[in-house]
C-alpha cells in the first residue's frame, strides 16, 4: 500500500493538485486531503485506485528496500 508521503510526493512529481488527483481517480478530494494529512487511512480499495492512477500517469512506487519507500518517474 502507498503511504501518505508517497501520495504527496507522487503528486509533486507529476505536478497535480489534490483536485487533479481527485478527478483522475474519481476519489473525493476530502479523502485525499485527509489521507495526505494523516488524519485518516483510506480503505485498501481506495489506496489501490490511487496507486493505479499514479502509475497510469507515469509514477513508479519504490518499496521498502533498506532506504525507505519512495516514488520516481518511470523512464
CATH class of 4-73: mainly alpha
Please name which of 28, 30, 43, 37 lies closest in space to residue 7, comparing C-alpha atoms. Answer: 37
pLDDT, residue 11, reads 98
Report yes or no: 2 and 48 within 8 Å, Cβ to Cβ: no
* pLDDT tens for each residue of 10-67: 999 999 999 999 999 999 999 999 999 999 999 999 999 999 999 999 999 998 877 8
CB neighbours (10 Å) of residue 75?
A: 5
What's the confidence (pLDDT) of residue 54?
98
Q: Distances from the Cα of 58 to the Cαs of 11, 38, 52, 71, 74, in angstroms?
A: 11, 24, 10, 10, 6
Global pTM reads 0.93
CA distance 8 to 71: 10
Amino acid at each position: 500500500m502507498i503511504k501518505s508521503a508517497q501520495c504527496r510526493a507522487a503528486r509533486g512529481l507529476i505536478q497535480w493538485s489534490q483536485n487533479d488527483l481527485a478527478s483522475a481517480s474519481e476519489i473525493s478530494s476530502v479523502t485525499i486531503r485527509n489521507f495526505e494529512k494523516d488524519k485518516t487511512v483510506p480503505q485498501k480499495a481506495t489506496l489501490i485506485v490511487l496507486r493505479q492512477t499514479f502509475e497510469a500517469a507515469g509514477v513508479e512506487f519504490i518499496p521498502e528496500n533498506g532506504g525507505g519507500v519512495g516514488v520516481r518517474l518511470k523512464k
